[in-house]
A and B are shown apart, each in its own frame.
Chain A
Amino acid sequence: MMSKTFIRTVKNLERSQFEILRLRIMAFIFALVAGGLFIIMIGYNPVELYGTIISGAFRSKMAIQATIKIMIPLLMSSLGVTLAFKMKFWNIGAEGQIIMGAVFSSYFALFHSNLPHGLLLLIMFVAGFIGGGLWGLIPAIFKTRHNTNETLFTLMLNYIALHVISFLRDGPWKDPGSSGFPKIARFVTNAQLDKVFGIQFGWIIGIILVVIIFIYLRYTKQGYEINVVGESQSTARYAGMNVKKIILRTMILSGGICGLTGVIQSAGSDMTLAASVAGGVGFTAIIVAWLANLNPVGILLVSFLFSILEKGSSVMQSTYGLSTYSAAVLQGIILFFILGCEFFVRYKFVFGNKGGARS
């Protein structure tokens, strides 16, 4: 279609912030309409279903708490991957980093649970950060040394991490007290996160992280370095930055934050180390980070929106018998439209005659 010159694409750089926001909101509305068409196709009323999603997420105090509980890991891991994405390092491995964070911290939760509560939790968080950080560091080392494709490498590490859990569950960490399917023992109360306002205190950590990452990216030297590496590695090198060091450091942070997510999920929500500790959150986090334009405050908003979707879709399941995967479908549709709309932020179509003047 481009070759026929009836419609040409030209750069359009003069969009104001307001116009860009309007475009994105329009894309979001289009996405809801497209989702609605899908709902009509399977024989339901879209207005009714969308209503159920929103009311389902807020219908009671418990529902709101559940929504926040879903939001915590999503928010934190989105912040984690954002650091890597800012420097165009494709960390698709949040899932595995969450798992390794949970595994490292679970060791202390399971076998050193007699430590004083505060100290134990502190050790668990440090261990979780190290676990996730290591899992993020491995692909970064190979990326900086040999330019190994990090997208696929981090992905493979997800699956490897998943099987580390099943190895521990079936063997060394198997709960001798459980009959039937092997599982890992429930954490004792001493190793569980405390609740604040009825929700595990991970939500406080999440909000603090939003502020920290916001400041880190915008006002610190390291944050600036990440931005420059993301824009152009040669520019960074020319400016005398140690690109390798920046990549390694940022990936430890990125993986480490995802590792903290694993601690919060296992010790705050699951109360054990389950194979589903990441449960696809690491992938959804990528969508969230991207939709929020890698902006920490935006991530807070989008992850809240997405947890409404997730919580609402579970209500939709109990009310209409529709699968909770509807959340993933809607999330996908929304991102498709936003991705498409980015085009109109940067370019525009020009309708003209064949052979018209170039602009």
Chain B
Amino acid sequence: MIKFINFLVAAVFAGTPLLFGTLGEIMNEKSGHLNLGVEGMMSMGACAGFMVGYLTDNFLIALAAAFIAGLLGALIYAVLTVTFMADQNVTGLTLTIFGIGISNFIGEYMIVNSHTNSLKLPEVISQQVKNIYISGLSDIPVLGQLFFQYNPFVYIGIITAIILSIYLNKTKTGLNLKAIGENPASADAAGIKVTKYKYFNILLGGGICGIGGAYCSLIINGGVWMSNSVNGLGWIAVALVIFASWSPVRAIFGSFIFGGFNVLKYYFPKDIFTFPNAFYDMLPFVITALILVITSVRKSKKNTRPASCGINYYREER
């Protein structure tokens, strides 16, 4: 039982970067842009978050830096796909290659210039990203462990998801955005400023992805800089958007379930049956592939990809 609770907690920790990536991609796809650059934007956020945290020793500044880095990555994407109408698939892929490349490059550059063999986060910021202990609540048996002892990222992620859900479903701006995602020409005719909306939400999504990246570099690797710190999580996030059927709230559960697959290796009772490690490492990707197949076979009319997703909007061609 205790082991099972530990597993659930570990799943939440492992799922949090996926949550940010998924939320970021939802914002992109809702504005009609399939952004395959999530992995790249997360990498940029990972690098900026870590390096700024390393230099300033302040969690909030690091978080802001990660957000801005992800946002800048998204800005490249937005300029190319919204204004210059470049192919979304290729632009996103290039953003991924570029983002991973530049963050690894800067990481190695920092290591060489700091004259050490590795970069480790200073004490103050490592304390700030530690799990929050809420006196009273955290001590409750089981519930306290399950709900009240996570690091700040986990709470920020869940709150972001709820805010985005309200934004998309309850505010006029959010509904306008959904209209753009479904049919930009009609939205444009209705007087919605399509380009402005697209830019805003793609950039917002990129920033959120950046925070997810910061989680990878600040938390997962234990405060030591490593190359390729995002390591495929961004791609799972893109697929999770389908699993969560474009709903920020469902993204919370989807991410945590996938977090569970990521850490299953350490919690699966070895005395029942032992699988090779590679099997567990493969699992999240196999399941993602299965979900892609299942959702495409089911083809429900509700909860589908925004209709204009992947197609650039050219005003003079409607």
Contact between A170 and B278 (Cβ–Cβ < 8 Å)? yes
Q: Which 3 A-B pairs have the closest CB atoms?
A: A332-B98, A328-B101, A167-B278
Bound state CA distance, A155 and B296, in angstroms? 16
Q: Number of contact residues on B: which range applies?
A: 35 or more
Contact between B102 and A332 (Cβ–Cβ < 8 Å)? yes
B-facing mask of A131-162, CB < 8 A → 1, else 0? 00000000000100011110111011101100
> Are A159 and B109 CB-contacts (below 8 A) given A9-B314, A290-B90?
no
Bound state CA distance, A92 and B282, in angstroms? 18
Stretch in contact with the other chain, from A64-72, A191-199, A296-304, A338-346:
A338-346
- From residue B86, how far is it (CB to closest CB) to chain A in Å? 4
Specify which of A11, A284, A325, A343 is in contact with B316 (CB 8 Å cutoff). Answer: A11
Cβ–Cβ < 8 Å partners of B279 in chain A:
163, 167
B-facing mask of A1-38, CB < 8 A → 1, else 0? 11100001111000000000000000000000000000
Residue of A nearest to B280 (CB): A163
Contact between A2 and B288 (Cβ–Cβ < 8 Å)? no
Contact between B288 and A152 (Cβ–Cβ < 8 Å)? yes
Interface residues of A in 257-300 (CB under 8 A from B): 283-284, 286-287, 290
- From residue A170, how far is it (CB to closest CB) to chain B in Å? 6
Specify which of B36, B90, B292 is in contact with A148 (CB 8 Å cutoff). Answer: B292
Residue of B nearest to A334 (CB): B94
Contact between A325 and B101 (Cβ–Cβ < 8 Å)? yes
- From residue B41, how far is it (CB to closest CB) to chain A in Å? 13
Interface residues of B in 129-166 (CB under 8 A from A): none
Contact between B94 and A287 (Cβ–Cβ < 8 Å)? yes
Contact between B105 and A336 (Cβ–Cβ < 8 Å)? no
> Are A339 and B90 CB-contacts (below 8 A) given A148-B292, A160-B289?
yes
Contact between B315 and A284 (Cβ–Cβ < 8 Å)? no
Contact between A333 and B98 (Cβ–Cβ < 8 Å)? yes
Interface residues of B in 94-120 (CB under 8 A from A): 94-102, 104-105, 107-109, 112
Cβ–Cβ < 8 Å partners of B93 in chain A:
92, 283, 286-287
B-facing mask of A317-342, CB < 8 A → 1, else 0? 00001110111110111011001101
Contact between A159 and B297 (Cβ–Cβ < 8 Å)? no
Cβ–Cβ < 8 Å partners of A170 in chain B:
276-278
Residue of B nearest to A168 (CB): B278
Bound state CA distance, A42 and B108, in angstroms? 12
Contact between B315 and A90 (Cβ–Cβ < 8 Å)? no
- From residue A276, how far is it (CB to closest CB) to chain B in Å? 12
Q: Output the residue of B36, B292, B315 with the most chain A CB within 10 A.
A: B292
Is A113 close to B, CB under 8 A? no
Bound state CA distance, A259 and B200, in angstroms? 42
> Are A326 and B94 CB-contacts (below 8 A) given A147-B296, A170-B277?
no
Interface residues of A in 115-136 (CB under 8 A from B): none
Interface residues of B in 291-318 (CB under 8 A from A): 292-293, 296-297, 299, 314-316
Instruction: Tell me what chain A mostly uses at the interface: helix, strand, loop, or mixed.
Output: helix
Contact between A325 and B94 (Cβ–Cβ < 8 Å)? no
- From residue B47, how far is it (CB to closest CB) to chain A in Å? 11
Bound state CA distance, A287 and B105, in angstroms? 19
Instruction: Tell me what chain B mostly uses at the interface: helix, strand, loop, or mixed.
Output: helix
Is B235 close to A, CB under 8 A? yes
Cβ–Cβ < 8 Å partners of B296 in chain A:
142, 146-149
Specify which of A142, A159, A328 is in contact with B98 (CB 8 Å cutoff). Answer: A328
Contact between B235 and A155 (Cβ–Cβ < 8 Å)? yes
Q: Output the residue of A153, A332, A333 with the most chain B CB within 10 A.
A: A332
Contact between B104 and A325 (Cβ–Cβ < 8 Å)? yes
Contact between B83 and A156 (Cβ–Cβ < 8 Å)? no
Contact between B281 and A148 (Cβ–Cβ < 8 Å)? no
Is A171 close to B, CB under 8 A? yes
* B positions within 8 Å CB-CB of A: 36, 76, 79-80, 83-87, 89-91, 93-102, 104-105, 107-109, 112, 193-196, 232, 235, 238-239, 242, 276-279, 281-282, 285-286, 288-289, 292-293, 296-297, 299, 314-316
Cβ–Cβ < 8 Å partners of A327 in chain B:
101
Bound state CA distance, A117 and B269, in angstroms? 47
Q: Output the residue of A170, A325, A347 with the most chain B CB within 10 A.
A: A325
B-facing mask of A52-87, CB < 8 A → 1, else 0? 000000000000000000000000000000000000
Cβ–Cβ < 8 Å partners of B95 in chain A:
332
Specify which of B84, B96, B105, B196 is in contact with A325 (CB 8 Å cutoff). Answer: B105
Cβ–Cβ < 8 Å partners of B86 in chain A:
339-340, 342-343
Bound state CA distance, A152 and B101, in angstroms? 21
Bound state CA distance, A8 and B277, in angstroms? 56
- From residue A213, how far is it (CB to closest CB) to chain B in Å? 20
Is A243 close to B, CB under 8 A? no
Contact between A323 and B76 (Cβ–Cβ < 8 Å)? no
Residue of B nearest to A146 (CB): B296
Bound state CA distance, A147 and B91, in angstroms? 23
Bound state CA distance, A150 and B63, in angstroms? 34
Contact between B36 and A151 (Cβ–Cβ < 8 Å)? yes
Cβ–Cβ < 8 Å partners of A156 in chain B:
235, 239, 285-286, 288-289, 292
Contact between B87 and A323 (Cβ–Cβ < 8 Å)? no
Contact between B101 and A166 (Cβ–Cβ < 8 Å)? no
Is A164 close to B, CB under 8 A? yes
Contact between B102 and A329 (Cβ–Cβ < 8 Å)? yes
**6 further A-B pairs in the complex, CB-CB below 8 A; given A164-B278, A331-B101, A332-B98:** A146-B297, A166-B278, A325-B102, A339-B91, A343-B83, A346-B85
Bound state CA distance, A350 and B269, in angstroms? 67
- From residue A37, how far is it (CB to closest CB) to chain B in Å? 13
Bound state CA distance, A10 and B285, in angstroms? 43
Contact between A336 and B104 (Cβ–Cβ < 8 Å)? no
Cβ–Cβ < 8 Å partners of B79 in chain A:
340
Contact between A159 and B278 (Cβ–Cβ < 8 Å)? no
Bound state CA distance, A343 and B85, in angstroms? 7
8 contacts between A and B (CB under 8 A): A152-B235, A160-B282, A163-B285, A164-B278, A287-B97, A325-B102, A329-B102, A342-B86
